[in-house]
Amino acid sequence: MSPYRVYKLFILWFFAAIIGVAAANADPAADFYSGRQVTLIVPTGPGGGYSLYGQFLGRYLGKHIPGNPTVVVQNMPGGGGNVAADDLYNVAPNNGTTIASLFSTMTVTQALQPSGAHFDATKFGWIGSIAPMVNAVGVMQKPSPISLEDAKTKPLVIGATGKSADLYIYPRIMNALLGTKFKIVLGYDSSGAILLAMQSGEVSGMAMGLEIWDALRPDWIKRKEIAFIAQTGVKRDPQLADVPTLLELASTPQDKQVMTFLASPAVLGRVIAAPPGLPPERLATLRKAFNETMNDPEFRNTLTARGLGIDPTSGIEIAKFIEQSSATPTAVLDRTKTLLGF
């Protein structure tokens, strides 16, 4: 074989080797996300708990997605969270460039108000939950202390965003089953707006995630300006060891079934989803990035410094829970619907 032919074969082998190495090292996810923008939809206006968690997740998530895309938070309030959920399900591109923080009550909404929920919770691409969420019903203690028994005799005004939101659902079910006399005012765009209304005396209280009370109004708690009279979830939060759960307060087996169903959003908590139909490999990429973000020391320290909880649940576990929750007996759903006025 001539030296020229040997040299030519060597050159061909050399470039083939380079191409082979490049192919082996190629990362389709990095290629897709590099230079792109990922939109993180938040279902409320600025200032509340969903917005806070969304801002911090948006700040760190992009570092863990291959290609390091820019993550931009978009507030999309309305319909008690339905506007954001509907947009993610029906409008957003299902290529992994749009994800959303969804209300923890979305499964309740779908079951009880199907005409207003233009989505199927079982078909979202569940990425994970940052933390469970126990709602605490808090009422300003002005001009005098307030207890649960007081709420059964005094017509206290409670702020809420929409009928699909936990801010409405829990005070309403308390009126129906416990005899409280809350007057629920709808239309606020976030829990932050309701806090301002509480401060001005426009409303007396609301139902909000315990960690958000801690993060946004720790001074109220420290000075005992606010009384927590009930909490959601299947068991008492250690921080509210003396405050009963709605499940505990239920007086009949039928009422307990309703309260158990309405306690399910505590498990979903600060949940993140992608649109339906997302390619499995891209959903896996987002789940991996989410899990890595949850273990990022800087992210965890940022949340802790703001008094925000972090106790993540994987997207796979969330998807399984959604399937179980969707199997709630029709009789329980019908009674809950009637009690909530849906």
> What CATH number corresponds to the domain at position 61?
3.40.190.150
Residue 102 inside a domain? The answer is: yes
Instruction: Look at residue 241 and tell me if it is in a domain.
Output: yes
Residue 296 in any domain: the answer is yes
Per-residue pLDDT reduced to its tens digit, 115-145: 878 999 999 999 999 998 888 999 999 778 8
Judged against a pLDDT cut of 50, whether residue 19 lies above it is answered with no
Quickly list DSSP for 95-143.
TSSEEEEE-TTHHHHHHH-TTT--S-GGGSEEEEES----EEEEEE--S
CA distance 311 to 300: 10
Residue predicted with more confidence, 165 or 54: 54
Give tens-digit pLDDT for 27-42: 899 999 999 999 999 9
> Do 186 and 168 fall into the same domain?
yes
In DSSP terms, 226 is beta-bridged to: 140
Average pLDDT estimate for 155-171 = 91
- The pLDDT value recorded for residue 3 is 53
Give the N- to C-terminal CA distance of the chain in Å, as an integer.
86
Q: Are residues 123 and 199 in the same domain?
A: no
Same domain, yes or no: 190 and 234: yes
Q: Which two tokens stand for residue 112?
A: 């009880």
* 340 part of a folded domain: no
301 vs 210, residue with greater confidence: 301
Q: Please, are residues 211 and 308 in contact by the beta-carbon 8 Å criterion?
A: yes
48 and 18 both lie in a single domain: no
* Res 5: pLDDT: 53
Render pLDDT for 215-233 as a digit per residue (tens, 0 to 9). Answer: 889 999 999 999 999 998 8
> Residue 137 forms beta bridges with which residues?
207, 230
The pLDDT of residue 9 is: 47
63 Cα distance to chain centroid: 21
Is the Cβ–Cβ distance between 275 and 121 less than 8 Å?
Answer: no
Clarify whether residues 61 and 113 are in a common domain: yes
Query: Has residue 18 got a pLDDT over 50?
Result: no
| Domain ranges, residue 103 | 29-132+270-335
Q: Which amino acid is present at 255?
A: D
* Whether the predicted pLDDT of 17 surpasses 50: no
Which residue in this structure is represented by tokens 């917005």?
A: 51
Q: Are residues 90 and 185 both part of a single domain?
A: no
Alpha helices in 179-279 (DSSP H): 191-200, 210-216, 218-222, 246-249, 253-263, 265-268
Residue 299 falls within a domain, yes or no?
A: yes
Looking at the structure, do residues 296 and 317 belong to the same domain, yes or no? yes
pLDDT (0 to 100) of residue 267: 83
Q: Is the pLDDT of residue 16 over 50?
A: no
Percent over 90 (pLDDT), the chain: 66
Residue 246 lies in a domain: yes
* Residue 341, in any domain of the structure: no
For 184-219, what is each residue's pLDDT tens digit? 999 998 888 999 999 999 999 999 988 889 888 999
Domain boundary (203, 236, 263) is at 263
Does 7 score more than 70 pLDDT? Answer: no
For the chain, the C-alpha Rg in angstroms (whole number) is: 24
Q: What is the reported pLDDT for 2?
A: 58
Judge whether residue 278 has pLDDT over 80. yes
Amino acid at 119: F
* 156, 215: one domain: yes
- Last residue of one domain, picked from the residues 206, 229, 263: 263
> What's the structural domain count of the chain?
3
**Are 210 and 276 in the same domain?**
no
Mark whether 117 and 231 lie in a shared domain: no
CA distance 122 to 239: 33
Q: How far, in Å, CA of 336 to CA of 195, rounded?
A: 28
The CATH number assigned to the domain holding 219 equals 3.40.190.10
Q: Which of 229, 244, 263 is the last residue of a domain?
A: 263
Number of Cβ atoms within 10 Å of the Cβ of 198: 24
Q: Tell me: the pLDDT tens digits for 58-89?
A: 999 999 999 999 999 999 998 878 899 999 99
Encode 124-138: b = buried (16+ Cβ within 10 Å), e = exposed: bbbbbbbbbbbbbbb
Residue 155: pLDDT band with limits 50, 70, 90:
very high
239 near 210, Cβ under 8 Å? yes
**Per-residue pLDDT at 23 exceeds 50:** no
The answer to whether 159 touches 197, Cβ cutoff 8 Å, is: yes
The verdict on 144 and 250 lying in the same domain is yes
Asked if the structure places residue 104 within a domain, the reply is yes
Residues 241 and 144 in one domain: yes
Q: What does each C-alpha distance from 12 to 1, 3, 61, 83 come to in angstroms? A: 16, 14, 42, 57
The answer, yes or no, to whether residue 12 has pLDDT greater than 60, is: no
Token code pair at residue 63: 């570092």
Looking up tokens 């273990």 gives 295
Q: What is the pLDDT of the chain when averaged over all its residues?
A: 89
